[in-house]
A and B are shown apart, each in its own frame.
Chain A
Amino acid sequence: MKNLVRIFCVVLAVSFCAIAFTACGGGERVYVIGGTGPLSGENSAYGLAVMRGATIAIDEINRDGGLNGVQFKLDMKHDACDAEQAASAYLTLIESGMQVSIGSVTSGAAKSFADAAAEDNVLCLTPSASADDVIGAGAHSFRVCLGDPQQGTIAADELVTNGGYTKIGVIYDTSDIYSEGLYNAFVARMTELGKTAGTDYVVQSFDNSNKSNFTAQVNALKNANCDVLFLPIYYGEAGLIARQATQADFKVPILGCDGLDGVKDHLEGVDASVVVRYITPFDASSTDARIKNFVTEYQNRYNETPNQFAADGYDAVMIIFKAMQAAGINDVTITASELCEALKPILTGGEFKYTGLTGADMTWTEGGSCNKAANIVTVAH
């Protein structure tokens, strides 16, 4: 036992030195953009997409000479969608010289990241965290994607006002922040429109311990004679629900939010008469030259079609770059807080408008949410 203790002391001492004295190396003159996301594990698809999109943007900026000749660098850490790990990664990033950040990819982590960043006043421009609390963390927090309230409202309007559906079936994930946020916003809008639960819309839910068996929920909605399905969830589960609905002979149109991007590969076996649509500001099949270039570049590099997360990642970096340009930043040694103060008025000023992959003429409110148009695209399957 004694020597175990002794060995441990040595290990501890060594690790102390390692932690305490790994100071950031000087010398490099680049702007550092930090961020976190799930880069491995169950949700890695989202984190990797953002990282890849952002990397393309960084390379593009650097190829064109950077900002007044100063290059950019992206430092992306893994956070496993976990609040504690995101906070920890934030500290590691800020200590290694991050000057501005694209926050975190998923909402729970992004909230934690933004909270931690509030202490140092570091700008967070999250590409894809849509929960309201994320930008509520402070004046330093912004986002690129549409927020949950925006999407929930669009969905309710689309289904009730434009679609004229009389009984909407909703299935959402009670264990997922994104899904819960969309659902709450949807319900709020439905109430505004004078619709009541049970008669005008019927709600079913699941959670992360029951993520593969939706037959019961689908059957219940079928028996309630719903004429449309609203799925404020991610594409994996949505595809499953669509297939199980076909299996149960319940063939109604489906509407989802931006989480459904990618559902195409999961619709095998779904009846051809089922129309699947989702709200998204990004369409990879668009003919816009900018998007075409991005899609080609992404396919060349990673051998897959980019989804909305990749486009959001690209836009987040580009917005930061353009805003820095607009603010006339010229000093590479600028601190994170100074940079944040310089960028905030630019983003919220109203004159700065960014046109990118996920929308034209984006502007930001004081609260940090992004004003842009959303499209509803139909999935061909």
Chain B
Amino acid sequence: MDTLILGLCYGGIYALIALGYTMVYGIAKMLNFAHGDIIMAGAYAIFVVLSAQGHVILALLAAIVVCTALGLLSERLAYRPLRSASPLAVLITAIGVSYLLQSLAQIFFDSQKRPVTVLPPESVPMFGTTVSVASLWTLALCTVIMVVLTLFIKKTRVGCAMLAVSEDRGAAQLMGINVNFIIALTFAIGSALAAFASLFYLMQTSVVEPTLGAMPGIKAFTAAVIGGIGSIPGAMVGGILLGVIETFSSSSPALSPYTTAIEFGLLIVILLVRPVGLFGKKRREKV
């Protein structure tokens, strides 16, 4: 039972990160490889504020500011000039940005792991076992964020504009939607989600290092592909699925050494059986 709760927690975190990937992919049609490293930047922001005896809320705000700024900056400087270039060129640039953020973190913060305590390690009894307070916060906040995000996209004008841009960028532009603004907004929202993800991630693992974002980033990316990249419910389901599988696999002695292989193997299997992912829509390509 507590393995399941833990899995849901990690699933929630993966889902938050995957949402960032999937929104950017849906709207800007690019894989933002650097998304994981934006989480790392957020984690360092939290680390800095907390080591200066700042409050957790303040740390979260700092992380949101840093992540959003980095997201917007990378979009403006690296991705926007390449809007008309081939997807390959954009992908390579995104890898470059990812590498850049990692090496900058190494230079500024050193490559050592640093401990950081977000919440005191407490736990409450529940369902016949004990669940840590951090896990409860993570689960609750992840749910709230996902609900809010879904409502935002479905109900607001800006949300509709985002949907329109993801549907057909050219037509949306003709309808008077400022595409550049919408894309920048998408990056901002995705990065802000990353800031939340970094807080939850730190609650669970309580250590920061420059490569912190790389693995969760790649895994969340896997989750987004499993769920069907570009699809928001897909990212949520994919993230949670991956989190649960990872936790169950890590806690079984026989499977544990192969956890990474299992997660990525799942990706390959899903792509084989259903190439567009669980919730992806099949698009016919035109010349």
Answer yes or no: do A and B interact.
Answer: yes
Report Cα–Cα, A139/B230, bound state, in Å.
Answer: 61
Known contacts A174-B257, A219-B2, A269-B117; A213 and B251 CB within 8 A of each other: no
In the bound complex, do residue B115 and residue A239 qualify as a contact, i.e. CB atoms below 8 Å apart? yes
A191 within 8 A of B: no
Kindly identify which residue among A206, A212, A269 contacts B120, using a CB–CB cutoff of 8 Å.
A269
Kindly identify which residue among B2, B134, B207 contacts A212, using a CB–CB cutoff of 8 Å.
B207
Complex interface residues of chain B between 62 and 112 (CB less than 8 A to chain A): 106, 111-112
In the bound complex, do residue A220 and residue B252 qualify as a contact, i.e. CB atoms below 8 Å apart? yes
B6-20 CB contact bits vs A (8 Å, 1 = yes)? 110010000000000
In the bound complex, do residue A265 and residue B215 qualify as a contact, i.e. CB atoms below 8 Å apart? no
Report Cα–Cα, A243/B7, bound state, in Å.
Answer: 19
Taking the nearest CB of chain B, how far is it from the CB of A206, in angstroms?
A: 7
* Residue picked from A44, A215, A243, A266, most chain B C-beta under 10 Å: A215
Complex interface residues of chain A between 241 and 293 (CB less than 8 A to chain B): 243-244, 246-249, 265-266, 268-269, 271
Q: Which residues of B contact A332 (CB under 8 A)?
A: none
Complex interface residues of chain B between 235 and 257 (CB less than 8 A to chain A): 246-248, 250-253, 256-257
Q: Which residues of A contact B206 (CB under 8 A)?
A: 240, 243-244, 269
In the bound complex, do residue B256 and residue A217 qualify as a contact, i.e. CB atoms below 8 Å apart? yes
Stretch at the interface among A116-124, A197-205, A338-346: A197-205
Complex interface residues of chain A between 203 and 233 (CB less than 8 A to chain B): 203-207, 209-210, 212-213, 215-217, 219-220, 223
* Residue picked from A212, A236, A240, A265, most chain B C-beta under 10 Å: A212
In the bound complex, do residue A204 and residue B115 qualify as a contact, i.e. CB atoms below 8 Å apart? no
B204 within 8 A of A: yes
Kindly identify which residue among B130, B134, B247, B256 contacts A205, using a CB–CB cutoff of 8 Å.
B256
A42 within 8 A of B: yes
Kindly identify which residue among A207, A213, A268 contacts B204, using a CB–CB cutoff of 8 Å.
A213
Kindly identify which residue among B117, B122, B250 contacts A268, using a CB–CB cutoff of 8 Å.
B117
In the bound complex, do residue B256 and residue A248 qualify as a contact, i.e. CB atoms below 8 Å apart? no
In the bound complex, do residue B260 and residue A206 qualify as a contact, i.e. CB atoms below 8 Å apart? no
Known contacts A174-B257, A269-B120; A248 and B250 CB within 8 A of each other: no
Q: Which residues of A contact B281 (CB under 8 A)?
A: none
In the bound complex, do residue B253 and residue A203 qualify as a contact, i.e. CB atoms below 8 Å apart? yes
Chain B, Cβ-Cβ closest to A44: B111
Report Cα–Cα, A45/B121, bound state, in Å.
Answer: 28
Q: Which residues of A contact B256 (CB under 8 A)?
A: 204-206, 217
- Chain A: interface residue total (CB-CB under 8 A): 36
Q: Which residues of A contact B215 (CB under 8 A)?
A: 209-210
In the bound complex, do residue B112 and residue A45 qualify as a contact, i.e. CB atoms below 8 Å apart? yes
Q: Which residues of A contact B207 (CB under 8 A)?
A: 212, 236, 239-240
Known contacts A248-B132, A269-B120; A219 and B6 CB within 8 A of each other: yes
Taking the nearest CB of chain B, how far is it from the CB of A204, in angstroms?
A: 6
Kindly identify which residue among B123, B250, B252, B257 contacts A213, using a CB–CB cutoff of 8 Å.
B250
In the bound complex, do residue B123 and residue A209 qualify as a contact, i.e. CB atoms below 8 Å apart? no
Known contacts A236-B113, A239-B115, A248-B123; A209 and B251 CB within 8 A of each other: no
In the bound complex, do residue A216 and residue B123 qualify as a contact, i.e. CB atoms below 8 Å apart? no
A164 within 8 A of B: no
B200-217 CB contact bits vs A (8 Å, 1 = yes)? 000011110101100100
B3 within 8 A of A: yes
Q: Which residues of B contact A209 (CB under 8 A)?
A: 215, 259-260
In the bound complex, do residue A216 and residue B251 qualify as a contact, i.e. CB atoms below 8 Å apart? yes
Taking the nearest CB of chain A, how far is it from the CB of B94, in angstroms?
A: 20
In the bound complex, do residue B253 and residue A202 qualify as a contact, i.e. CB atoms below 8 Å apart? yes
Kindly identify which residue among A212, A217, A219, A247 contacts B121, using a CB–CB cutoff of 8 Å.
A247
Report Cα–Cα, A212/B7, bound state, in Å.
Answer: 15
* Residue picked from A40, A202, A203, A219, most chain B C-beta under 10 Å: A219
Known contacts A42-B111, A240-B205, A268-B115; A248 and B259 CB within 8 A of each other: no
A44-B111, A210-B259 provided; 4 other pairs, C-beta below 8 A?
Answer: A42-B111, A42-B209, A204-B256, A206-B256
Query: Interface residues, chain B, CB within 8 Å of chain A?
Result: 2-3, 6-7, 10, 106, 111-113, 115, 117, 120-123, 130, 132, 134, 204-207, 209, 211-212, 215, 246-248, 250-253, 256-257, 259-260
